[in-house]
Amino acid sequence: MKDVAESAANTVKFQDPRITATGEPRARVALTQPRTLWFNTGTLCNITCANCYIESSPANDRLVYITCAEVIDYLDQIETRGWPVQEIAFTGGEPFMNPEMVAMAGAALARGHEVLILTNAMRPMMRKSVQSGLAALIADHGDRLTLRISLDHWSEELHDRERGKGAFGRTLEGMLWLRSIGARMTVAGRTLWDESDAQARGGYAALYARHGFDIDANDPGQTVLFPEMDEEAETPEITTACWDILGKSPRDVMCASSRMVVKRRGADRPAVLACTLLPYAPEFELGATLAEAERDVALNHPHCAKFCVLGGASCSG
């Protein structure tokens, strides 16, 4: 074991899925309770943000539009595999860029699932055809449909610094429309700025009160503040011993309860990934079916440590 440890110590971190750079057994996570199945609707977006982990933009189609028929196939697989999935979640890019977004949400709602859609609530959502379809879904299934709005900061200045001049106002316009039709909303913010958690939540609370949004700023499930994901930052590797040291369980990590389906440009069919945060990392692609995706996952990326294990974050509500 000493020779293995010495050899591993000379390697770069996050390279070997079995052991860390210091030769310790790398932590792995089994799919113990599949609660959320994510679909990436495509990486195209109506805007280009300064810091987008998936590099979405009006030109990025590395992940192409997934179709309603493909989503239905995975909904069928959920039933076949007996996965106890409660939530079907859609992310992008901007999901409402996908012309079948309303149909995909409707298919999941018709199966009795809760549905979460991540959106910037801007022009793609505000097209008349989308508004009509979304309003109908909310009228029929409003208690099971939630839209999580990307609002990087509670102030116009800092939000627009990330998303471009005028973005804050256009997102608020979308949120006000959603409020008018009784839509359930939550918010996703970011921790880019030098303010405490309490200061950030206080700012969001004031914003919600000013506009009459029924969103709890102090509930981490309703106002989700995501840490920044810098792959160049020094990050510790997670070993099997870390669970006891940190007082955590592998069951607490996202990949114990979720998977994400994507469709790569040029691919014949979608693929299932271990994590929503790593759409371009081939080592986290588990296969084309949910059956193949039932295998465990090595925590072999800085995001695994910083975002999930140490940060305790979750993409779901």
Cβ atoms 66, 262 nearer than 8 A: yes
Within a domain: residue 13? no
- Select from 287, 292, 284, 289 the least CA-distant residue to 308: 284
CATH number at residue 81: 3.20.20.70
> Is 23 domain-assigned?
no
Does position 35 have pLDDT exceeding 60, yes or no? Answer: yes
123 lies in some domain: yes
Q: Which H/E stretch holds residue 205?
A: helix 197-211
* ω into 93 cis (within 30 of 0): yes
What is the mean predicted confidence (pLDDT) over 192-214?
96
In angstroms, the CA 165 to CA 185 distance is 23
The pLDDT-based confidence of 217 (bands split at 50, 70, 90) is very high
Tokens of 146: 């939630």
Beta strands in the chain, from DSSP E residues, in sequence order: 28-29, 36-40, 87-91, 114-119, 145-150, 184-190, 223-226, 258-262, 271-273, 285-287, 297-298
- Per-residue pLDDT of 128-168, as tens digits, reads 999 999 999 999 999 999 999 999 999 999 999 999 999 99
Structural domains in the chain (count): 1
d(CA 113, CA 187): 21
The Cα–Cα gap between 253 and 258 comes to: 9
pLDDT digits (tens, 9 = 90+) for 265-282: 999 999 999 999 899 988
pLDDT in the model for residue 3: 39
End-to-end CA distance of the chain: 43
| For the chain, counts of helices (H) and of strands (E) | 10, 11
Helix ranges (DSSP H) in 30-83: 68-81
Domain that holds residue 131: 28-309
In a domain? residue 76? yes
The C-alpha atoms of residue 187 and residue 224 are separated, in whole angstroms, by 6
The strand order across the sheet containing 258-262 reads 223-226, 184-190, 145-150, 114-119, 87-91, 36-40, 258-262, 271-273, 285-287
Summarised one tens digit per residue, pLDDT across range 159-181 is 999 999 999 999 999 999 999 99
28 bridge partner residues: 298
Query: Is 142 a member of any domain?
Result: yes
Label residue 317 by pLDDT band (50, 70, 90). Answer: very low
Let me know if residue 208 belongs to a domain: yes
- pTM confidence score: 0.92
136's CB contacts (< 8 A; 6+ apart) are none
Share of the chain above pLDDT 70, in %: 93
Closest Cα partner for 195 from 186, 183, 203? 203
Maximum distance among all Cα pairs of the chain, rounded to whole angstroms: 66
